[in-house]
Amino acid sequence: MYKIKHDPFHEVKTHLIQRHHEWLEKNDTHDLYQMFYQASRLERLLNLTRDIRGRVLDVGCFDGYVAKKILDQGHKEVFGMDRLEKALERAAARGIKTKLGDIDDAVIDFPDNYFDGIIMGEVLDYVFDPDAVIAEVRRTLKPRGKLIITVPNLVGLNNRVRVLFGRPPYSLDVRPRQGGYWRYFTFRTLERLLIDQKFKIVVTESNAVAYPLFTIPGIRKLFPGDQLERRRIFYSVLLARIFPTLGENIIVLAEKDQ
């Protein structure tokens, strides 16, 4: 009889956790959020959390950088959940109430109808079963509780140009050990997921439209390794307001439907 000698999924997750811990030791999250596309995404996210009162959970909170920004808005008790123990230690030092847990298990270890708001910033694109995760999120939200999600946009202008030039969408890896996104969304597919899980869509928007730098002839010589893949010629917040489906990130505010 054939026997499975190892669990590939568990091995990949263990490998990624180790990589994320190594990143945390060598980098500063503050510097990450000074990058324009991250700063613009954070600005839009914080704009949507401003009016939430009560208990808020940041799923995939990492070191609590974003959760602390939400806490500083006032009128909130902010919790952070992540699978990285070292990251949670830093989040706790920022005043965040932490919970160790892997959202891929589709378990949020809190009672039913507990939170007034749940944040999932760049998390859903890394989970194995989005339906199971969103169902668990719904369970822990109060009636009319708010869910805010940000994910990369599969059909943003940057990715459309990349495909046109024969390249894969940014950070879409066929090899999970490389740490790229496991799930990609468009506005329509994310909205359908939430509606199927009995959420009402309140706001859909994007942060910025970007154009990749690699299209300039001869530019590769100036950027070693994969640096060129991360560079853009321009970012435009205005274009994202006019043409959100071309934006870098999808940002959705949804409400638990009663």
CATH code, domain carrying 199: 3.40.50.150
Using a pLDDT cut of 70, give the percent of the chain over it.
Answer: 97
Domain contains 3: no
pLDDT tens track for 16-52: 888 888 989 999 999 999 988 899 999 999 999 999 9
Confidence at 239, pLDDT banded by 50, 70, 90: very high
Domain contains 217: yes
φ and ψ at residue 57, rounded to 5 degrees: -115, 125
Domain contains 168: yes
Domain contains 2: no
Distances from the Cα of 83 to the Cα of 122, 204, 223, angstroms: 15, 28, 33
Distance from chain centroid for Cα 134: 14
Domain contains 1: no
pLDDT tens track for 58-102: 999 999 999 999 999 999 999 999 999 999 999 999 999 999 999
Domain contains 227: yes
Domain contains 27: yes
| Average pLDDT over every residue of 135-142 | 98
pLDDT tens track for 171-210: 776 677 777 788 889 999 999 999 999 999 999 999 999 9
Give pLDDT, residue 172: 75
Q: Mean pLDDT across the chain, nearest whole number?
A: 91
Asked if 99 and 109 count as a contact pair (C-beta separation under 8 A), the reply is: yes
Range of the domain at 173: 8-256
**How many domains, in total, are found in the chain?**
1
What's the order of all strands across the beta sheet hosting 199-205? 97-100, 76-82, 54-59, 115-121, 141-152, 249-256, 199-205
* C-alpha span between 162 and 154 (Å, rounded): 11
Give pLDDT, residue 182: 81
- The closest of 167, 146, 163 to 155, measured between CA atoms, is 163
Domain contains 14: yes
